Amino acid sequence: MPNYRMLLQYDGTRYAGWQKQGNTENTLQGKLEVLLSRLCEESVEVAGAGRTDAGVHAAGQVAHFHLKTCWNAEELRKSIQRYLPEDVAILCLEEAPERFHSRLNAKGKTYVYRIWNTDIPNVFEHRFMTQIIPPLDMDSMRLAASQLTGTQDYRAFCSLKRYKKSTVRTIHRLDIEQHGQEIRIVACGDGFLYHMVRILAGTLIEVGLGSKDPWDMRCILESRNREEAGYTAPPQGLILHSIRYETPIFRAKA
């Protein structure tokens, strides 16, 4: 069976997340499966590299699917895009090795959390940012972030009350960048727990506001207690930026 992989981006504002659910048809995975099944006249299952939550966006999501018949990849991409809404774009689609799996073969992910740090609304990008009005202390946020990198148990930064698998993850980078009035939290790691990036962002925001001590991050990690970390930052500020594989998988990217 031919295996196809695609690079896509979407504005997650009006969707209930990536992963299909039994109580709603309004998910990215669900809509793509319905569209592909009708277009290819066969049952198609789509697997994504990252399961973004409701309201979360993606600039570089990767997904794959198998078909019983062979299609020209570029013609298939154009056919899919023709029926997609304007808030979803297929940047690239190509035939992949039979054993390629978008999630299992992924070596790491990069997320960006965007904060608009002023009392003046950002009229054109407000759907992709979280507005925080009081000035944030960048130095304190960077100090806190430096303690949250490496290979550690991030149980305190996971929303699930019960987690059967290991909660140890490796964060390679947790950078705090400033671009004028915008502050970006860039998290790059081998994988992330449920709501982990948004909890990291919420914790760093609380540090920036002075309600948490930047030196307390180690104690929060060691507590393994969700209540010790900060709040879960709103979804609209979070973007799945890219998925990393052992070697580049797309010949051309938009």
- Residues that are catalytic: 53
Please provide residue 211's backbone torsions phi and psi, each rounded to the nearest 5 degrees.
Answer: -90, -10
Amino acid at 236: Q
Q: What is the DSSP letter of 99?
A: T
Q: Please give the DSSP secondary-structure letter assigned to residue 24.
A: B
Residue 119: which residues within 8 A CB-CB, separation 6 or more?
133
Q: Please name the residues in contact with 229: beta carbons below 8 A apart, sequence gap of 6 or more.
A: 156, 157, 199, 202, 203, 220
Mind spelling out the 3-state secondary structure of 93-130?
EEEECCCCCCCCCCCEEEEEEEEECCCCCCCCCHHHCE
Q: Hey, what amino acid is at 83?
A: Y
Helix, strand, or coil (residue 21): strand
